[in-house]
């Protein structure tokens, strides 16, 4: 397929011990961890009582989404969004399954409405007042790559900018024996159609695993510090991209699922040309 291109206007990041993109940069470049990192995200988009009730997956998704919009200088409610989570909230899924098996009438209405896969997208659109489309998708290990392709397709169809959010939490109970996910991880990008001075320009191409690697692969195929830091999380397949951004390497390769890979390069020439689609 021909490549799709965009400008990375803003970045948001949160994981245990690395509660911001600035902290992630310091860790990726110098191995420095913050002395006092918060134990959980606290998205200011929500009122205090809602922050306390929101599940961790929703909290981390909103935290990084808001950070990416601020970094981009974009009004959060002005953007279409893509929320990509490989598993949704497995803690709530475990609670729902156990309660339905033991005492169905005891299901909590609050936890029930947080069990749907698009819960984070719903909180985001309500909190920001966004009237633009919000997409929630899941594709196993290829979730973030497929979310990136969706965002790039929206740009190619004329959207000036798109918010992309990837996130997953821990798997517990019987589900933890089937689905492997540890900790809490969220990353977000605001992707723009036009070039911006000083902003990296991303070009992505979908290929089979058997395809020839790009010249950048030798630098980025080995797991970087961010990927190693959150290796057990179900969304960790997105981290090679963020390691590449943090370390200034020329590209990354993401698992796109179904035997495919998303090959990403950062192209200065593409940045000068502008436009969302390039052959």
Question: pTM of this prediction?
Answer: 0.91
Q: What mean pLDDT comes out for the span 210-233?
A: 67
% of residues, the chain, pLDDT over 70: 90
Q: CA triplet 43, 68, 83: central angle to 5 degrees?
A: 75
Q: Is the pLDDT of residue 82 over 70?
A: yes
Residue of 250, 234, 259 whose CA lies nearest to 169? 234
In the chain, what are the domain boundaries? 8-199
User: Is-contact 157 267, C-beta < 8 A?
Assistant: no
Alpha carbon of residue 31 to chain centroid: 22
Q: Kindly state the tokens that stand for 72.
A: 């981009």
CATH classification for the domain delimited by 8-199, as one of 1.10.1740.10, 2.60.40.10, 3.40.309.10, 3.40.47.10: 3.40.47.10
Could you give the 3-state DSSP secondary structure of residue 189? strand
152 phi/psi in degrees, rounded to 5: -65, -35
> Within a 13 Å sphere around the CA of 90, how many CA atoms are in the beta-carbon half?
23
Alpha-carbon gap, residue 234 to 181, rounded angstroms: 5
- 169-214 tens-digit pLDDT: 999 999 898 889 999 999 999 999 999 999 999 999 999 865 444 4
Q: What mean pLDDT comes out for the span 72-94?
A: 96
Alpha-carbon gap, residue 7 to 202, rounded angstroms: 6
Q: Which of 39-53, 56-70, 124-138 has the lowest mean pLDDT?
A: 39-53
């Amino acid at each position: 397929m021909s490549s799709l291109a965009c400008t990375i206007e803003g970045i948001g990041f949160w994981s245990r011990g690395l509660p911001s993109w600035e902290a992630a940069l310091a860790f990726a470049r110098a191995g420095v961890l913050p002395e006092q990192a918060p134990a959980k995200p606290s998205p200011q988009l929500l009122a205090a009582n809602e922050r306390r009730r929101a599940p961790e997956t929703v909290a981390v998704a909103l935290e990084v989404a808001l950070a990416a919009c601020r970094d981009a200088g974009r009004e959060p409610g002005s953007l279409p969004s893509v929320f990509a989570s490989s598993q949704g909230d497995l803690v709530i899924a475990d609670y729902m399954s156990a309660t339905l098996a033991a005492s169905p009438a005891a299901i909590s209405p609050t936890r029930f409405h947080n069990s749907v896969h698009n819960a984070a997208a719903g909180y985001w659109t309500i909190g920001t007042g966004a009237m633009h489309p919000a997409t929630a998708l899941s594709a196993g290990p290829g979730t973030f790559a497929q979310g990136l392709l969706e965002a790039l397709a929206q740009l190619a169809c004329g959207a000036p900018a798109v918010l992309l959010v990837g996130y997953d939490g821990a798997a517990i109970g019987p589900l933890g024996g089937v689905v492997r996910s540890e900790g809490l991880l969220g990353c977000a990008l605001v992707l723009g159609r036009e070039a911006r001075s000083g902003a990296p320009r991303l070009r992505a191409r979908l290929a089979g695993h058997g395809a020839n690697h790009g010249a950048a692969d030798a630098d980025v195929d080995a797991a970087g510090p961010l990927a190693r830091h959150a290796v057990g999380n179900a969304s960790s397949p997105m981290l090679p991209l963020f390691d590449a951004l943090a370390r200034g390497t020329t590209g990354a390769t993401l698992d796109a699922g179904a035997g495919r890979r998303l090959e990403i390069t950062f192209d200065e020439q593409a940045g000068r040309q502008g436009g969302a689609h390039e052959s």
